[in-house]
Amino acid sequence: MALLKVEDLSLSFGGLRAVSGFNLEIKPGELVGLIGPNGAGKTTVFNILTGFYQPQEGRVFFDGTEITGLGCHRINRLGIGRTFQNIRLFNELTVLENVKIAYQYAGGYSWRHTIFRTGSYRRYEQEIAEWALSRLEILDLAGKAEEIAKNLPYGEQRRLEIARALAGRPKLLLLDEPAAGMNPQETMELLELIQWLRQEFSLTILLIEHDMSLVMKLCERILVLDYGMTIAEGSPEEIRNNPRVIEAYLGEEVS
Amino acid sequence: METETTTGLEKPEAVEKWRTHLLPAGLAILVLLNLLIFMEHFGFDIVSRYYKGILILAFINIILAVSLNLINGITGLFSIGHAGFMAVGAYVSALLTLNMGRWELVSSQVQAVLQFPLVLLAGGLAAALAGLVIGIPTLRLRGEYLAIATLGFGEIIRVVALNLNITRGARGIPSIPNYTNFWWAQLFAVLTVVIIWNIVHSNHGRAMVAIREDEIAAEAMGINTTYYKVLSFTIGAFFAGVAGGLLAHHLTFISPKGFDVLKSIEILLMVVLGGLGSITGSVIAAIVLTALPEVLRFLQAYRMVIYAGTLVVLMIFRPQGFFGRAEVNLAFFKSLFRSRVEEEMKSRSEERGGNGGSA
């Protein structure tokens, strides 16, 4: 059974048809790439999947239940984690606090514990701190746990975003241009990291990326969007040679 | 240089040291005050009525500032309607006290002690209800839009109090029993600070801080932002209501005039001066701003000019407030009650110190 199933998704902003008739099915454990020229509607698809936008048509199913129209925080709690194209960290907080916040609902305690600082409060706080630290260790950020998030170098901010998304224990991870602004060296490290994360946490990943070398090496299946419509779908090899994709990226051949 | 920076702003060492001594010094002064005032029961009137009045006002202002800080500083909702919630609490509790008959079973003194906290609680709950009703529609607004909406709410409350029969309009409510004393004010101030401190340093508080930092990211991390915004507003309103009740039973007279926009601004001032997001900063700012006009009394007519001037100078030289977002250094407190969690965290981070942090 598919982990994520999207049926005929459409959304217009005024006269602009951002996404039209988008279909997608992801099986557990798959790593799917979503590519397309600027303004093709990739991030809009992400925002619909995570509940930031409500689609005008179509339905979204996750893990057997329909999530169309649910609020973002509820979709997150069902197991969809995401990162943002333009990094959205909690800038003034420490690296550790950033990750702790994402842990919120995996192990919450009640108001009684909060106000009276019961033993459970301490136990939960310790659990949260340890869990958050372990996520940071995975992404090699543990040494920077006490630093303010905005003071981290760019590449580490990207990694922190992934750590934060992982802290919510997602089944499906949506990465929005994780390699944007990284140098080739960092991109290669990211590639290894994503592959390793996927193995380690048996994650299903949907990825938006402009760096073709990364997408081609990483993804088993690629979807190409243009003007809100899927124009091609297939293995990296098929996509590379698909005339419609080449046309979308490079324009029509002059005859 | 990899030194630890908690606020992102460089702090001179002297300030850091000063903050370390602040908490033990503050506690010592509080204990001393308690002793001095307790001596009354043995016939030594050491602290005069005037000074006790200032202390009570300081405690009330602490409640107001800390509760507004939960809304403005921690959750990042810019509210300037705090006097409105105060008014709700003040009127509800005052009217309850005045209309509550004599209880048959106990003496009138015992009745006063028993009913006062109940009445304050009722005032707080009424204010919290007002916060809930106002919060649900207005909290979808952001920044200055929310500020204007809350400003409008404060005015509505004032105008309602001005026109209802039960509140006696502009004549106000006179001869409210003077139940508020040093002990009650202190008790409720300490309770407020402890409860709000505990909320802020829990996962609920983290959710509120996340909203302040980035609402969209908070939502994407599974935080129900609407719930926490309304909740923060309601809790803040509750404590403002309690403070209003204390004030009503301290001044023994309330009228709509005492709960106008200026009052809201005064509370906001304490929060900004103490540092948005710093609870201990709010406490200190509340004390300073309560004491300052009294200290400056010898200047007579120039008093308010100097008061306002001090604020301008402070904002120019320290725009982030006394503490920014940091708190009073708790090293002293922690050495008393060092928790296992922190010890473990510390030993862990020391272990890691050498190999971690590869860039």
Distances (CA, A) of A181 to A157, A185, B2: 11, 12, 25
Q: Report if residue A164 sits inside a domain.
A: no
Tell me whether residue A99 is in a domain.
Answer: yes
pLDDT digits (tens, 9 = 90+) for B223-281: 888 888 999 999 999 999 999 999 999 998 999 988 988 889 889 888 988 888 888 88
Give B-chain residues touching A158 at CB under 8 angstroms: none
Q: In this structure, is residue B319 part of a structural domain? A: yes
Residues B27 and B122 in one domain: no
> Per the domain annotation, does B302 fall within a domain?
yes
Lowest-confidence segment of A239-253, B65-79, B327-341 by average pLDDT? B327-341
Where residue B244 falls (left for φ over 0; alpha for ψ -120 to 50; beta otherwise) is alpha
Based on the fold, state whether residues B244 and B124 are members of the same structural domain.
Answer: yes
Domain coverage including residue B117: 56-331
pLDDT at A68 over 50: yes
Does residue B7 carry a pLDDT above 70?
Answer: no
CATH number at residue A242: 3.40.50.300
Question: Residue B145, Cβ neighbours under 10 Å: how many?
Answer: 12
Instruction: Please say which residue of A128, A153, A178 terminates a domain.
Output: A153
* A185 & A68 share domain: yes
**Domain annotation covers residue A44:** yes
Same domain? For A130 and A239 the reply is no
Range from A106-110, A207-211, B122-126, B140-144 carrying the lowest mean pLDDT: A106-110
Domain match, A121 and A177 both: no
ipTM: 0.85
The size of the A-B interface in CB pairs under 8 A is 120
Decide if B220 and A150 are in contact by the 8 Å CB cutoff. no
Asked whether residue A162 is assigned to any structural domain, the reply reads: no
Within a domain: A205: yes
Give yes or no: residues B89 and B166 share one domain: yes
Whether residue B2 lies inside any domain: the answer is no
B3 in contact with A, Cβ within 8 Å: no
In tens, the pLDDT along A155-185 reads 888 889 988 888 888 889 999 988 888 888 8
Express each pLDDT in B72-108 by its tens digit. 989 988 888 899 999 999 999 999 988 887 777 777 7
B221, B224, B359: residue with CB nearest A164: B221
Mean predicted confidence (pLDDT) in B119-141: 90
Residues A12 and A71 in one domain: yes
User: Which chain A residue has its CA at the smallest distance from B200's CA?
Assistant: A114
Do B33 and B182 lie in a common domain? no
Interface test with A, best of B140, B195, B221 (most A CBs within 10 A): B221
Same domain, A73 and A177: yes
Count structural domains, chain A: 2
pLDDT for B148 equals 87
Using CA atoms, how far residue B261 sits from B172, B198, B266, B305, B357, in Å, is: 17, 30, 9, 20, 50
B69 and B38 housed in the same domain: no
Closest residue, chain A, to B217 (C-alpha): A88
- A205 and A180 in a single domain? The answer is yes
Residues of A in contact with B210 (CB under 8 A): 90, 101
Which H or E element spans position B347? helix B340-353
Residue B91 and residue B21 in one domain: no
Average pLDDT for B95-124: 84
B344 contacts A146? CB cut-off 8 A:
no
Q: Has residue B344 got a pLDDT over 60?
A: no
Q: Which residues pair with A11 in a beta bridge?
A: A19
Mean of pLDDT over chain B: 81
- Could you tell me if B140 and B244 lie in one domain? yes
Q: Within a domain: residue B336? A: no
- Could you tell me if A187 and A70 lie in one domain? yes
Do both A13 and A50 map to the same domain?
yes
Q: What percent of chain B has pLDDT over 90?
A: 27
What is the least distance, in Å, from the CA of A108 to any CA of chain B? 7
pLDDT digits (tens, 9 = 90+) for A131-156: 888 888 888 888 888 888 888 888 88
Provide mean pLDDT across the span A26-37: 88
Cβ atoms of B5 and A148 within 8 Å: the answer is yes
| B346 located within any domain | no
Domain that holds residue A106: 91-153
Tally of structural domains, chain B: 2
User: Is the same domain home to B232 and B309?
Assistant: yes
Instruction: Examine residue B341 and state whether it is found in any structural domain, yes or no.
Output: no
Residue at B327 is within a domain: yes
- A172-227: pLDDT as tens digits: 999 998 888 888 888 888 888 898 888 888 899 999 988 888 888 888 888 888 88
Residue B13 has pLDDT above 60, yes or no: no
The Cα of B25 is separated from the nearest Cα of chain A by a number of Å equal to 25
Is residue A163 a part of any domain in this protein? no
Which CATH number covers residue B154? Answer: 1.10.3470
- List the single residue in A with minimal CA-CA distance to B3: A147
SS (H, E, C) chain A: CCCEEEEEEEEEECCEEEEEEEEEEECCCCEEEEECCCCCCHHHHHHHHCCCCCCCEEEEEECCEECCCCCHHHHHHHCEEECCCCCCCCCCCEHHHHHHHHHCCCCCCCHHHHHHCCHHHHHHHHHHHHHHHHHHHHCCCHHHCCCEHHHCCHHHHHHHHHHHHHHCCCCEEEEECCCCCCCHHHHHHHHHHHHHHHHHCCCEEEEECCCHHHHHHHCCEEEEEECCEEEEEECHHHHHCCHHHHHHHHCCCCC
Task: For residues B145 and B82, state if they share a domain.
Answer: yes
Average pLDDT of chain A is 85
Mean pLDDT is lowest, of A38-42, B18-22, B113-117, for B18-22
Testing the interface with B: which of A50, A52, A73, A95 to mutate, by most B Cβ within 10 A? A73
- Domain-embedded: residue A39: yes
Does residue A176 sit in the same domain as residue A245? yes
Question: What are the b/e assignments for A211-236, b being 16+ CB within 10 Å?
Answer: beebbbebbebbbbbbbbbbbbeeeb
B209, B73: one domain: yes
Interface touch B203/A128, C-beta < 8 Å: yes
Q: Which amino acid is at B135?
A: G
- Domain check: are B43 and B154 in the same one? no
Contacts of A108 in chain B (CB under 8 A): 203
> Which has the closest alpha carbon to A91: B25, B145, B280, B325?
B325
> Within an 8 Å CB–CB cutoff, is residue B202 touching chain A?
yes
Q: Could you tell me if residue B6 is inside a domain?
A: no
Whether the CB of B160 is below 8 Å from some CB of chain A: the reply is: no
> Mean pLDDT highest for which of A115-119, A216-220, B66-70, B115-119?
B66-70
Same domain flag for B42 and B64: no
